[in-house]
Amino acid sequence: VTKRVARNFRLERYAIIGFMAFYIFNSQFVTPRINDQEIYPFFQWSLHSTVDNTHKFIQVRLTRIPGESSCLLQNCAYALPPVRSTRFYFLVQDMGRVQNSDPSSFEEMRGQLEAILRRSTAQTIRYELIEAKATPREFAKGGEISLGRVIYQGIVAP
């Protein structure tokens, strides 16, 4: 009996160590997939391996209608307390995300955005949602943000 148990134990050891080696090989080189989905419990284990050097986001440009003086929200948010919230920031990012895919929720979010803008200023202003990029080094120097395409613009009147 002892011999049999000892032999089984030796086999178990080989099986466990073999499984470990197999698992490592699978996760690093060929993760088995069906329909582009990994087969449970295999997993690629590539967790946050790549870091992009640029942060892409949606920036808001506000323009006062009489006088046409404009500013980026990044630079003038301190003057508009209701706007200076992470909730507003994520609302704008969500609008950028769903603009093409989900028009109904985009409209709903636009309503929320305009309500917040109306609360923060008593003037007629034009707002533009712009695709923007920032790299750490340039942003650290002088808060530089490179602006891209305008994805939406609207006007808020008191």
Provide the binding-site residues for other proteins, judged by CB under 8 A.
Answer: 2, 5-6, 9, 12-13, 16-17, 20, 23-24, 27-28, 37-41, 43-53, 55, 57, 73-74, 77-78, 84, 86, 89, 134-137, 139-143, 145
**Is the Cβ of residue 26 or residue 157 nearer to other proteins in the bound state?**
26
Cβ neighbours of residue 18 closer than 8 Å, sequence gap 6 or more: none
Closer residue to other proteins in complex, CB, 35/67: 35
Q: Which is nearer to other proteins, 45 or 155 (CB)?
A: 45
Which CB atom, from 67 or from 141, has the smaller least distance to other proteins? Answer: 141
Helix residue spans in the chain (DSSP H)? 2-28, 73-76, 86-98, 103-120, 136-142
Please give the order of strands across the beta sheet that includes 125-134. Answer: 70-72, 55-64, 125-134, 146-156
> Least separation, in Å, of the C-beta of 91 and other proteins?
12
Neighbouring C-beta atoms of residue 73, cutoff 10 Å: 19
